[in-house]
Amino acid sequence: MSTSNLCVRVDSELKNAVESCLADMGLNMSTAITIYLKRIARDHEIPFKITAAPRVNQETIDAIAEGHRIANDPSVPGYRDMKSLIEALNS
């Protein structure tokens, strides 16, 4: 098996933090990256979910704030079960 060098630039603090975590697992950076690359080669996919940060518009932010306000407002009636809710809706 021949080997090749792989040069990657990363933030120094990130590198140190990862090396520390890997050491706790008994691994080094080279072994961890080799495991990662082997998974990609075997599965033909990144071995974890990659998504963009969720986009939240102002309407959603306002709805969440309203939900918090209602949940914390003692004057808003609450119901412990469906029967109580249905009775209140029907009255």
pLDDT tens track for 39-72: 999 999 999 998 887 888 999 999 999 999 999 9
DSSP secondary structure, the chain, as one string: -----------HHHHHHHHHHHHHTT--HHHHHHHHHHHHHHHSS-SS---PPPP--HHHHHHHHHHHHHHT-TTS---SSHHHHHHHHH-
pLDDT tens track for 2-38: 999 999 999 999 999 999 999 999 999 999 999 999 9
